[in-house]
């Protein structure tokens, strides 16, 4: 932008420019970024100085000391210091330059303040998703997403617990268990890790495990609606699961990032199950990744009810709080502000529209695959379509589709041995790509 235009620009452009100045200024003074940013800083400096010089000339000739001009002059003065500092760093590249000039705070915001900042979001999550379910705002831990919380829950569990997973399942449960040292060796013949209870979920059992065949474990990871099969557990099935866990004194970690995708009248939260509140045995994880497009923004939450206790009576929430505060410094203010907006009436409507868009994608895939004569599962309650290729290897099917259509799917066996013979087709994508992928599937399998 030309300087004259800049001084006369509309407020939006002016803000962009001052924001850029501000950003640049912060980068210049950020003690941690200085070595990495020197070339960038210098380039920016040169540009800014050229502009600044022009402004000074303009101001001298036209002298119109509006608030904007005064603001600008203050920036120019600061930039002189920044320029000298950048030149100094170029001259002494190995020097550890310490910035005590402009002064920027380095200490973290006190916990008492950050917890007050987090409160409205926790309250909003509690009232939006758990009203009448006995969950209060202080049961909710705001995080940077479900995946990180799964690992933090594994840290809470330690290495000596035993765990069960649906098979097939989202790989992070097993992988984080391996990392924590909870498992035995990988058994190549059955493609399972020792000491993990794999709860087989196939079309034969309606993708819900036969609990009578499942050994007791300390923790049960349970996902519904489920990645990768797209199946959602019914109220009756979850009631059985809760009874099973109660009887075994197991804790259920209920992962439900796809809850908003539910079309059927299945529980969206494990806390909907009667009796679940009396003896709290559930932890629930969720996030805005799939319903508000927050996969890059990162905001999720975990519900650890106050009543959930270790066998010695110590509060699990207190322990989890300690772990969260040690492993994590809190969701960014930007992500929290965005999440609050998600929970406003307009935000909820917008999230339902996003979910609706992906559900339409899902229908397009399901319709196509059905029309080609394949047996297809999922789709109604989750954005995952689970396609059966009986007797074939998931990897072979994956390779054939990729080679012949240039469409990348996911081999079902990547989600556990129970996924062999399936591929997962995700509905997350642009509509045009969905339609084109389906056209190519039709070409391949016509
Ligand atoms: C079942 C399941 N849980 C958790 C996650 C991770 O979600 P987030 O983006 O909140 O970390 C995913 C993402 O693919 C998922 O499928």
Centroid of ligand 1 to alpha carbon of 102 (angstroms): 42
Question: What's the pLDDT tens digit per position in 388-425?
Answer: 999 999 999 999 999 999 999 999 999 999 999 999 99
From the CB of 256, is ligand 1 less than 6 Å away?
A: no
Centroid of ligand 1 to alpha carbon of 261 (angstroms): 14
Ligand 1: atom nearest CA of 170 is 1
Centroid of ligand 1 to alpha carbon of 372 (angstroms): 30
Centroid of ligand 1 to alpha carbon of 146 (angstroms): 5
Question: What's the pLDDT tens digit per position in 40-87?
Answer: 554 555 566 566 666 556 555 555 554 444 445 555 555 666 667 777
Architecture label for domain 111-344: 3-Layer(aba) Sandwich (3.40)
- Select from 144, 147, 229 the residue to mutate for testing ligand 1; criterion: most ligand atoms less than 8 Å from CB: 147
How high is the pLDDT of residue 117? 58
Grade residue 295 by pLDDT with cuts at 50, 70 and 90.
very high
Grade residue 20 by pLDDT with cuts at 50, 70 and 90.
low
How high is the pLDDT of residue 316? 94
In this prediction the pTM is: 0.76
From the CB of 146, is ligand 1 less than 6 Å away?
A: yes
From the CB of 287, is ligand 1 less than 6 Å away?
A: yes
CATH of domain 99-106+346-445: 3.90.1150.10
How high is the pLDDT of residue 290? 94
Q: Residue 122: is its pLDDT beyond 60?
A: yes
Question: What's the pLDDT tens digit per position in 186-227?
Answer: 999 999 999 999 999 999 999 999 999 999 999 999 999 999
How high is the pLDDT of residue 51? 63
- Could you give the CA distance from residue 17 to residue 13 in angstroms, rounded to a whole number? 6
Ligand 1: atom nearest CA of 223 is 1
How high is the pLDDT of residue 38? 46
- Could you give the CA distance from residue 391 to residue 257 in angstroms, rounded to a whole number? 31
Q: What number is the average pLDDT over the span 156-172?
A: 97
How high is the pLDDT of residue 34? 39
Centroid of ligand 1 to alpha carbon of 390 (angstroms): 28
pLDDT averaged over every residue in the chain = 84
Grade residue 94 by pLDDT with cuts at 50, 70 and 90.
confident
């Amino acid at each position: 932008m030309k300087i004259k235009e800049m001084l006369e620009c509309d407020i939006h452009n002016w803000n962009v420019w001052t924001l850029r100045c501000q950003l640049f200024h912060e980068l210049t003074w950020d003690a941690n970024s200085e070595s990495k940013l020197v070339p960038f800083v210098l380039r920016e400096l040169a540009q800014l100085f050229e502009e600044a010089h022009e402004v000074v000339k303009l101001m001298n000739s036209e002298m119109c000391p509006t608030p904007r001009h005064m603001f600008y002059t203050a920036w120019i003065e600061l930039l002189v210091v920044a320029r000298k500092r950048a030149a100094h760093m170029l001259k002494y590249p190995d020097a550890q330059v310490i910035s005590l000039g402009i002064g920027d705070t380095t200490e973290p915001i006190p916990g008492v303040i950050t917890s007050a900042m987090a409160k409205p979001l926790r309250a909003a999550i509690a009232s939006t998703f758990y009203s009448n379910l006995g969950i209060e705002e202080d049961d909710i831990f705001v995080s940077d997403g479900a995946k990180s919380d799964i690992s933090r829950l594994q840290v809470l569990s330690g290495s000596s617990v035993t765990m069960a997973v649906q098979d097939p399942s989202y790989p992070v449960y097993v992988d984080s268990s391996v990392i924590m040292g909870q498992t035995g060796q990988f058994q190549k013949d059955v493609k399972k890790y020792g000491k993990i209870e794999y709860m087989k979920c196939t079309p034969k059992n309606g993708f819900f495990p036969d609990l009578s065949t499942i050994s007791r474990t300390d923790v049960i990871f349970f996902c519904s609606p489920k990645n990768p099969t797209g199946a959602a557990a019914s109220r009756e099935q979850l009631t059985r699961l809760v009874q099973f866990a109660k009887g075994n004194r197991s804790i259920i970690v209920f992962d439900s990032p796809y809850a908003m995708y539910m079309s059927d009248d299945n529980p969206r939260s494990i806390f909907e199950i009667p009796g679940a509140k009396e003896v709290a045995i559930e932890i629930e994880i969720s996030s805005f990744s799939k319903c508000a497009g927050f996969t890059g923004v990162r905001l999720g939450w975990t519900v650890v009810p106050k009543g959930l206790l270790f066998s010695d009576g110590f509060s699990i929430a207190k322990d989890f709080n300690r772990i969260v505060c040690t492993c994590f410094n809190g969701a960014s203010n930007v992500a929290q502000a965005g999440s609050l907006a998600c929970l406003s009436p307009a935000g909820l409507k917008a999230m339902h529209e996003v979910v609706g868009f992906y559900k339409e994608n899902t229908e397009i895939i399901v319709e196509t695959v059905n029309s080609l004569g394949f047996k297809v599962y999922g789709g109604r309650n989750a954005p995952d379509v689970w396609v059966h290729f009986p007797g074939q290897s998931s990897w072979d099917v994956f390779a054939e589709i990729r080679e012949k259509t240039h469409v990348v799917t996911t081999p079902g066996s990547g989600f556990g041995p129970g996924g062999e013979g399936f591929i997962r087709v995700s509905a997350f994508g642009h509509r045009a790509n969905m339609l084109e992928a389906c056209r190519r599937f039709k070409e391949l399998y016509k």
